[in-house]
Structure 1
Amino acid sequence: MKHPVDVHVGKRIRHRRWMVGMTQQQLGDLVGIKFQQIQKYETGMNRVSASRLWDIAHAMDVTIAFFFEGLDSEDREAAMAEMSSMSEQGDLMVDREAQELVRSYYSIPEEQRRRLFDLARVLSDVA
């Protein structure tokens, strides 16, 4: 069984990689591993070592802490339940359309982005 922390870290790696527009191959090249290993990290199938996480963080210009954001280390049960729930519902960030939408959203200037967010919130309330 995959450990929920490994799954969480993998999802954060995938999320950041997509946000910067990097392929698995490009990330693998930057850290000196094959893209298949990046795939295994992103799914939580393989655990990322501390030194490899350091390399990945450097390649994607984030702190190591970025990969653990949103994970409460004191509540392992909650983390496991969250991971289980996410797998049952499907991970939104696996959907390519959702990834493209998020990437496009963050390329919009901040003031216009806030207006778009407000519009989306109003539309979802009436749906």
Structure 2
Amino acid sequence: MSHPVDVHVGKRIRHRRWMNGTTQQQLAEKVGIKFQQIQKYETGMNRVSASRLWDIANVLGVPVSFFFEGIEAATNNAELTADMPSDILTDKEALELLRSYYAIPENQRRRLFDLARVLSEAA
């Protein structure tokens, strides 16, 4: 059985890779491993070593700490609600929405965020 931290780190790798529009194959080539190993990391099947995580972080343009953000909530299941899937980062529609959101200029993005918050509170 996979350790919850390995699963969380793998999800964060997948999330960042998708946000960058990078394929498993592209990431694997840049890190110097086979794409199947990236698959195993992303599912939490294999644990990522510190040096490999460092390499992945450099390729994906994030600090190593990025992969551990939200770890407390994820391991305690505190962030889950009945309305949301347990792994929203696997939902292609959600990821496309995130990509589109960050493509909007910052001032307009903030207004859209405020609108979404008001609409969700009213629902």
Pick the TM interval, shorter chain: 0.7 to 0.9
**Which residue, 100, 112, 122 being the options, matches 2:96?**
100
Q: Give SS of 1:90's match.
A: coil
Matching residue of 1:14: 14
Instruction: Tell me how far 1:101 sits from its aligned partner.
Output: 0.4
Matching residue of 1:45: 45
Return the letter of the residue paired with 1:33.
I
RMSD of aligned residue pairs (Cα, Å): 2.1
CA deviation digits over 1:53-104, x for unaligned, max 9? 11101111111111112224xxxxx754329x69x94311101010000011
Matching residue of 2:116: 120
Q: TM-score, normalised by structure 2?
A: 0.87
Return the letter of the residue paired with 1:101.
L
Give ranges in structure 2 of 5+ residues lacking alignment: none
Give ranges in structure 1 of 5+ residues lacking alignment: 73-77
Q: TM-score, normalised by structure 1?
A: 0.84
Q: How many residues align?
A: 120
Return the letter of the residue paired with 2:97.
L
| 1:55-66 map, 5 Å | 55-66=55-66
Runs of 4+ displaced beyond 4 Å: none
Identity rate, percent: 72
Question: Aligned partners of 1:62 and 1:71: how far apart in 2?
Answer: 16
| 1:12-91 map, 5 Å | 12-72=12-72, 80-82=75-77, 89-91=85-87
Question: Aligned partners of 1:55 and 1:13: how far apart in 2?
Answer: 12
Return the letter of the residue paired with 1:30.
K
